[in-house]
Chains A and B, each alone.
Chain A
Amino acid sequence: MFSRSFAEVAATSSSEKQEKVFGEAQVTEKFKADWKTIAPNFDMPKFPSNFMEVRPPVPSTIPAKLTVNFVLPSQYEIKAKQVDYVIVPATSGQMGVLPGHVPTIAELKPGILSVHDGTDVKQYFVSSGFAFVHANSVADIVAIEAVPLDRFDPDEIRRGVQEYTQKMNSAKDDLEKAEAQIGVEVHSALQYALGIA
């Protein structure tokens, strides 16, 4: 009894095509039968994939545009927008994602995310998160906080760097040191991003 990942369903030719608007959870027949045995009077519960739109299948040729989804806890920042490319701040450095990029899972560090569509460039400072690039040229970026760059105050940033460097030097145990290190990392990245000394 197994269930397959959502992205793979569309990819393999031997799978059952589910060309619906909303996805279906990979619920096996045995699960349904078991459910009937233990709870004959209740309907089956809904699953998150019931509420999610089906992703496009893997195209045979590299598409011209990349589809970007950028989500935050506070809002759905960019929803299925077709762009040329994005640059994400992965832990190994700035990573550019073009259509046809190899499927990747990248953890993000604090830095600038820029979305390029022709001449239109939108830049956000993201705190951290994950970026997934799928085989069907869909990029999902999940971040905890993202703020457009013009909302930052340079003095506050400089003060933040000094404060956290001080805390790191005077840290008494590993936990405090780790917290202070995170603060230094974020503020330095901000400093670098905004180009201030």
Chain B
Amino acid sequence: MASGSARPGSMRLAKLLYGNVNSYLSSGAAGINGGGAVWGSTTGLSSAELAPFGARSASGQIVRNRMKSVKSIQKITKAMKMVAASKLRNIQVKAENSRGLWQPFTALLGDAPATKVDKKLIVTISSDKGLCGGINSSVVKYSRALFRLNGLDGPDKDVKYVIVGEKGKAQLQRDSKKLIGMYFGETQKSSICFTQCSMMADEIIKSNEYDAIQMVYNKFNSVVSFQPTVATMLSPQLLLGDQEVTGDLDAYEIEGSDTKEEVLQNLSEFQFACTMYNAMLENATSEMGARMSAMENSTRNASDMLDRLTLTYNRSRQASITTELIEIISGAAALEG
């Protein structure tokens, strides 16, 4: 009777639950976008698909397992959020202190993202680890947009990507594999320092010919807001030659015995290193902030899910107990009567 009907019922239930586990977990981790709609619908157990009345601890076991796993996920994401929060504090201080570094260069050379050049490098700064919300996708989106922007002018433009960070590489590899010039990984193993950035800048300058570099990164505004930013740096040849681009660089006297070419070369390389240092710090701070929000959302979703599961579990448990009682009582009543 009851046990007979429990078996097919619980098998249906298992398929329903485990079939949906992956999608719920991943949307929980991503958290921010689209999570709301999914969470709103079900925990995999709509009332119509519960095991029929009388099915007992077989379904209870499944729900209990699920509750255990959701609880442990909740603990993990909460811990990740706290780790991200503490890392954020440190690196935010560093990023804010470094904000003055690129300002003299922009004051001198201007900020001209619309410059038309033949050879361009797009430096995409992304994170190595995941679970940090949408920051890497937004950086990659803007890099691709910049690439297409250049393509609008004509087919003979040479544009290459230089990627910093695993996640950016993973996304750009899918359709632009041949266009990736260089890749830097594991940049955050030791904390970001200026020496490291100047070495990276050195490598990029040595191995690539370019007229302009456009660096795409996430600028940290606050824990919940990051803005994709594009910093443009021109090569020394462009600075020297094209007066229209740099305005009145001629008005500046060069102090010292070096020629103007040498000084401008050093200037442009130094600008690149400084901008890269600030960009990497800002991106790392944005990564920590985004991870904090993502993990916060995930924890909240997990606790919501746990509440729903608990209610469902209790309901089914109480229903089965009630059914047993009814059977016993009606059996007893039949005997008496």
Chain A positions near chain B (C-beta within 8 angstroms): 1-8, 11, 23, 25-28, 30-31, 34-35, 37-39, 42, 45-52, 55, 69, 71-76, 79, 90-92, 95, 102-107, 129-130, 132, 134-135, 138, 140-142, 144
> How many A-B pairs fall under 8 Å by CB?
182
B251 at the interface (CB under 8 A from A): yes
> Which of A3, A34, A91, A144 makes the CB contact (< 8 A) with B149?
A34
User: Does A26 contact B111, Cβ atoms closer than 8 Å?
Assistant: yes
3 interchain residue pairs of minimum CB distance: A5-B247, A140-B104, A5-B110
**In the complex, how many angstroms separate the beta carbon of A130 from the nearest chain B beta carbon?**
6
User: Does A55 contact B255, Cβ atoms closer than 8 Å?
Assistant: no
**In the complex, how many angstroms separate the beta carbon of A58 from the nearest chain B beta carbon?**
11
- CB contacts (< 8 Å) of A31 on chain B: these are 113-114, 149
Chain B positions near chain A (C-beta within 8 angstroms): 94, 97-116, 141-142, 145, 148-149, 152, 194, 216, 219, 227-232, 244-249, 251-258, 263, 266-267, 270, 274-275, 277
Question: What are 25 A-B contacts with C-beta separation under 8 Å?
Answer: A1-B116, A5-B248, A5-B249, A7-B247, A25-B112, A37-B152, A45-B227, A47-B113, A48-B231, A55-B107, A74-B94, A74-B98, A75-B97, A75-B100, A90-B256, A103-B252, A104-B252, A104-B255, A106-B256, A130-B270, A132-B104, A140-B104, A140-B108, A141-B104, A142-B270
- CB contacts (< 8 Å) of A90 on chain B: these are 255-256
**In the complex, how many angstroms separate the beta carbon of B35 from the nearest chain A beta carbon?**
21
> Which of B111, B194, B247, B267 makes the CB contact (< 8 A) with A130?
B267
- CB contacts (< 8 Å) of B256 on chain A: these are 90-92, 106-107
- CB contacts (< 8 Å) of A48 on chain B: these are 102, 106, 111, 229, 231, 275
A157-B202 Cα distance, complex, nearest whole Å:
29
**In the complex, how many angstroms separate the beta carbon of B54 from the nearest chain A beta carbon?**
53
